[in-house]
Amino acid sequence: MARRARGTSAGLDRERIAVAAVALVDRDGLERFGVRRLAEELGVDPMSLYHHVKGKAALLDVISEAVLAEVVAVPEGAPHDWEGVARRTAHSYRDMAYRHPRVFPLLVTRAQTSPVALAALERLVSAMRAAGLPDRVAADAPMVLFGFLNGHLLACTGSGPEGPAPVPEFDPDAYPGMAALASRWAGFGSVAEFDRMLGIVLDGIRGQAPRPA
Amino acid sequence: MARRARGTSAGLDRERIAVAAVALVDRDGLERFGVRRLAEELGVDPMSLYHHVKGKAALLDVISEAVLAEVVAVPEGAPHDWEGVARRTAHSYRDMAYRHPRVFPLLVTRAQTSPVALAALERLVSAMRAAGLPDRVAADAPMVLFGFLNGHLLACTGSGPEGPAPVPEFDPDAYPGMAALASRWAGFGSVAEFDRMLGIVLDGIRGQAPRPA
DNA sequence: TCTCGAAACCTACGTCGTAGGTTTCACTGA
DNA sequence: TCAGTGAAACCTACGACGTAGGTTTCGAGA
């Protein structure tokens, strides 16, 4: 690998690093990601990265931020009913998870306090309050929703070494109930399945609102 | 560190290794866990562990299995209504997560196909079918439930370097809705909160059943 | 032209997972 | 009683990792 002379610019900056880092994790997975590999990918000495990012942990932060920014904001003109906002956000979040299945575990593990994440939450919460939902429900709902989204998408996108494990066979003697349902789990990870489950969660939230007489 | 002579037994076996490994992760966290550290903890040469466990990945499997086995089975004599089964299982799962917050991320990341996990699922599924819930609901419900459990508990137990991040301050100008709800998030991670959210999820599932006329 | 900071590179250290080889013990059957 | 044997431990060594600390070079401002 031909290296640059010592003082010449390599044109590094956070943006270029972020893009390369995400691509590297997408390709090789989190396990194989590291400072040295990223540097080689960029044609650069490992230590040069430290002028732009503090270290490996900070690199992971950069990656998760970059990927989270892909979750599209709900368009301003769209209807403001809270269920619509929740559905749109959830699907956009899911799309991102499927685009970057090997990055996704990183998001789930860190507390999300970036402006993008907070803005999405704020839109959901204010839509719920505008619809007259009690504060307790508006407070619980996003945690239930994102709890479900994170857990479920983690399972669907595999998050292990590589892709999601196929649904196992069930011994009908030991597990009669699961064997009977096995065929229903064939489309594991489909949009239809996701939307159905999302519906269950949203139903649960809607049910918390006091019934209008 | 005084080492044993070369041929003498160190009394190693999978059980002893599992116990020490779980304790080590509980104490130092997943990041710091490694073959060499575990060996030192056991007063043993690192390579000796390879006679009982294939390598680091297999060690992590051993850890997650040991911890999952702590989730108590729902007692046989207990009522068989599916909501009771679900609630008990969920709470027992939560207790385990809080007992081993630093191990928990390991569980979420791997597909759970151990007998313990399958047995718990089977109990839930068969209780739902016995109650007359449609197969589609019985198939979706466990995925929604464990999706929520995994995602939510991951957030609550912190799963990062150490404990859960405290709830951040919200700028009332940028995020009016969330600022208004901030006080409701004070008891983040409490049993009461967990039980409330669990109730929301179970409500959603119950709502899928066809209404008895 | 001289200076100086930014940005790159280089060296080196301690740690990691683990392949491959060596040593010793307990148990066997003759 | 004693060589033979296999299990279980230990030892050595290698390549890859994250990163502290130091050195070199370029280009912009004085």
Cβ–Cβ below 8 Å for A118 and B165: no
User: Which pLDDT score, from 0 to 100, does residue B6 have?
Assistant: 65
| Identity at A52, one-letter amino acid code | H
What's the pLDDT band for A4 if we cut at 50, 70, 90?
low
User: Which pLDDT score, from 0 to 100, does residue A165 have?
Assistant: 73
Which nucleotide lies nearest residue B3, CA to C1'? Answer: D10
Helix ranges (DSSP H) in B46-169 = 56-68, 82-99, 104-109, 115-130, 135-156
Report the helix count and the strand count for chain A, using DSSP H and E.
9, 0
Secondary structure of residue A120 in the 3-state scheme: helix
Q: Which two tokens stand for residue B63?
A: 């850890």
Cβ–Cβ below 8 Å for B150 and A146: no
What's the pLDDT band for B80 if we cut at 50, 70, 90?
confident
Q: For residue B3, say whether its CB is under 7 Å from any atom of strand D.
A: yes
Per the CB < 8 A criterion, the answer to whether A188 and A164 are in contact is yes
What's the pLDDT band for B73 if we cut at 50, 70, 90?
confident
Whole-angstrom distance, CA of residue A81 vs CA of residue B67: 43
Tell me: the pLDDT tens digits for B86-95?
A: 999 999 999 9
Q: What is the mean pLDDT of residues B115-128?
A: 91
Q: Is the pLDDT of residue A18 over 50?
A: yes
Q: What is the mean pLDDT of residues A155-175?
A: 80
Q: Please state, in angstroms and as integers, the Cα–Cα distance from residue A123 to each residue in A82, A144, B112, B117, B151, following that order.
A: 9, 16, 35, 37, 21
Question: What percent of chain A has pLDDT above 70?
Answer: 88
Cβ–Cβ below 8 Å for B138 and A181: yes
Contacts of B129 in chain A (CB under 8 A): 177, 180
| Identity at B207, one-letter amino acid code | G
Q: Which of A147, A177, A178 sits opposite B151 (nearest CB)?
A: A147
Domains and CATH numbers, chain A: 14-67 (1.10.10.60), 75-206 (1.10.357.10)
A180 touches chain B (CB under 8 A): yes
Whole-angstrom distance, CA of residue B175 vs CA of residue A28: 38
User: Which pLDDT score, from 0 to 100, does residue A79 have?
Assistant: 67
User: Which pLDDT score, from 0 to 100, does residue A2 have?
Assistant: 43
Q: For residue B8, say whether its CB is under 7 Å from any atom of strand C.
A: yes
Q: Which two tokens stand for residue B44?
A: 């043993």
Q: For the ranges A105-114, A180-189, A195-204, B30-39, which has the lowest average pLDDT?
A: A105-114
Q: What is the DSSP string of B122-135?
A: HHHHHHHHHTT--H
